[in-house]
Structure 1
């Protein structure tokens, strides 16, 4: 019985991998709007029923692809024990800035599904920051703002800064923008508001 379950799990993982690989290839060749589920299943050499066993539609596969790419990027850039520390936060901010610019900085078929990209990246950021802040909060008694609210506000701040920077701040380097966002998140906006002449 266990062998049958293991074989089924292996087949399921293999099917997912083939579908995801086919999707990525077709994104490069045809773009999201032009590709069909039949294109994906033909390329993966699986039945349409196999596709629907894993995904309700191609938008779900796109979302999975976006989340997977972003997770792998964070895993590559951050150490496994990363947390709310100045250097880890700086790496996270820079990684998000570069990732968002890679989408908005080129004419891409993914641009047609910007809201899905934005939501997926913000969600992944939120869950990562909630883990970091949750571990930090476990060592402190301060309960003024709950972890979910802090994670939500921080994820929106980082993503919003990245989206605006990638579209409007051509003269600002990634390092300079990383420093600005990092300073606001670690020092707070109050310090900047208290010094009206600070640039």
Structure 2
């Protein structure tokens, strides 16, 4: 019984791996819009039905591919014990900036892919930040904003800055932009408000 389950898992993992490899090759050759599910299945030498066993459509496969690549990139750049510390936030911000700029620099936007790319990276980013925040929340019971809200807002801040910087023609270095985003994240919008006298 246990050996049958292992064999099924092995076949399942193999099929998924073949579909992902096929998808990657077709992305380079044909692009996302032109490829079909049949193309992906044929290239992987699998039945079309096998594709649907693993993914509801090619958008789900694209999302998994984007998230997987981004997760792998973060794992390579961040230390294994990373957390909500200035040096790790700095690496994270710089990695997101470079990743987003490289993608906007070499890809022509596709209406359906762009939002999916943005959501996938933002969601992966929020998941990592949530993990970091949960670690520090254990030490601080006085936190007023829920972890999920903080992770979501921080991911939007980092990703929004990266998209704006990646699409702009301003001559701001990645180091300078990283420093700016990091200042906002660590110091917030500390401003002295001037109250008008009546």
Tell me, yes or no, whether TM beats 0.5.
yes
Deviation at 1:81, TM superposition (A): 1.1
Whether the 8 Å CA contact 1:158–1:181 is kept in 2: the answer is yes
Aligned counterparts of 1:20 and 1:111: Cα–Cα separation in 2? 22
SS state of the match for residue 79, structure 2?
coil
Written as runs of structure 1 = structure 2, the 5 A alignment for 1:45-56 is 45-56=45-56
Greater shift, 46-55 or 169-178, is seen at: 169-178
Deviation at 1:52, TM superposition (A): 0.4
Counterpart of 2:100?
A: 100
Runs of 4+ in structure 1 off by over 2 angstroms are 107-112
Q: Deviations over 1:50-76 (max 9, x none)?
A: 100000100000001001000000000
What are the ranges of 5 or more consecutive residues in structure 2 without an aligned counterpart? 194-198
Written as runs of structure 1 = structure 2, the 5 A alignment for 1:70-149 is 70-108=70-108, 112-149=112-149
**Alignment root-mean-square deviation, CA:** 1.6
Count, aligned residues = 194
Aligned counterparts of 2:29 and 2:170: Cα–Cα separation in 1? 29
Aligned counterparts of 1:108 and 1:49: Cα–Cα separation in 2? 31
Greater shift, 86-95 or 137-146, is seen at: 137-146
Q: Deviations over 1:101-143 (max 9, x none)?
A: 1111123466651110011111111111011011111101213
Aligned counterparts of 1:26 and 1:132: Cα–Cα separation in 2? 36
More helix by share: 1
